[in-house]
Copies of this chain bind each other. A is one copy, B any other.
Amino acid sequence: MKTRVDCFSCFMTQALRAGKMAGAPESARVKIMKETAALITRHSMDTPPPFLGGAVQEIVKKHSHNPDPYIKEKKKYNLVALKLYPGVKKEVLRAKDRLLAAIKVAITGNVIDFGSEWKFDIHREIKNAFSHKPAVFDYKQFKSALKTAKNILYLADNAGETVFDRVLIETIRELYQVEVVYAVKQKPILNDTLLADAVYAGLHKCSKIISSGSSLPGTPPGAGTKEFLLKYNSADIIISKGMGNFELLDEERKPIFFMLKAKCPVVADELGTPLGSMVLKIGKSGK
């Protein structure tokens, strides 16, 4: 996805918020804002937004001397989500359509996002998850793909959300006996899941956790560790969580299913959905 003019002010706001979150003093935050502004002057609109977003977060880390500004939020939401897990699991197990229920849980988990300006209350969102009417929902195609899939690559997004991914992965394994590889970020970027968060959330019990090699807020096409690229190129299904992955992979001709909450006006507009919509969208190869 290309960068849109609206992204620039959003990234400035993100830089401001991240500088505060990182505990940087005012003088360091001035440097953060000025360097972000300088990046914007040089940014090509053809480059997807997560490249700019990743660079902004590196500026924040450098000037705040804080290598992981969102660590508190990650820990907090790992814990919050784990507390919600038993109840959510019970709801999914007694649902008429367990796969459908688990997908809604996993997509709803995508609200735990400190990159976008979306305000969220995870308890309320999870409570309303099952009754939510998605805007784009290629469920039939996803279900059909699952029937023949032998290996699934799951691109993780945020810490805490990981717990809700676990619910979906467990459901898929129970219903389709298929192996899932769960790819997390290589280094801290926003509140994205790292290996430790995924293990804390129990993902190792239902999937093989690998690093994607990415330190951007998303997984750029054609880049990553050897192991990741092997999985990426051979997967029967790629489940791509979150806006960052959609922004980077929307042009890919792969068996991708994007699952996300459309939390920013630009992505919502790109998808043709109202802001806040639940989205399960098949990638370009599936059209």
Contacts and interface: CB of A to CB of B under 8 A. Distances in A.
Contact of A13 (B13, B26, B40): B13
A40 B16 CA distance: 14
Nearest to A7: B33
A38 interface: yes
Q: Give the number of times this chain occurs in the complex, counting copies.
A: 2
A74 interface: no
A12 B38 CA distance: 13
A5 interface: yes
A263 to B, nearest CB: 17
Contact of A40 (B6, B19, B26, B33): B33
A37 interface: yes
A33 B5 contact: yes
Contacts of A8: 12, 16, 33-34, 37
Given A30-B45, A34-B40, A41-B34, A9 B15 contact: yes
22 contacts: A4-B26, A5-B16, A5-B19, A5-B26, A5-B29, A5-B30, A8-B12, A8-B33, A8-B34, A8-B37, A9-B9, A9-B12, A9-B16, A9-B33, A12-B13, A13-B13, A30-B45, A33-B40, A37-B37, A37-B40, A37-B41, A38-B41
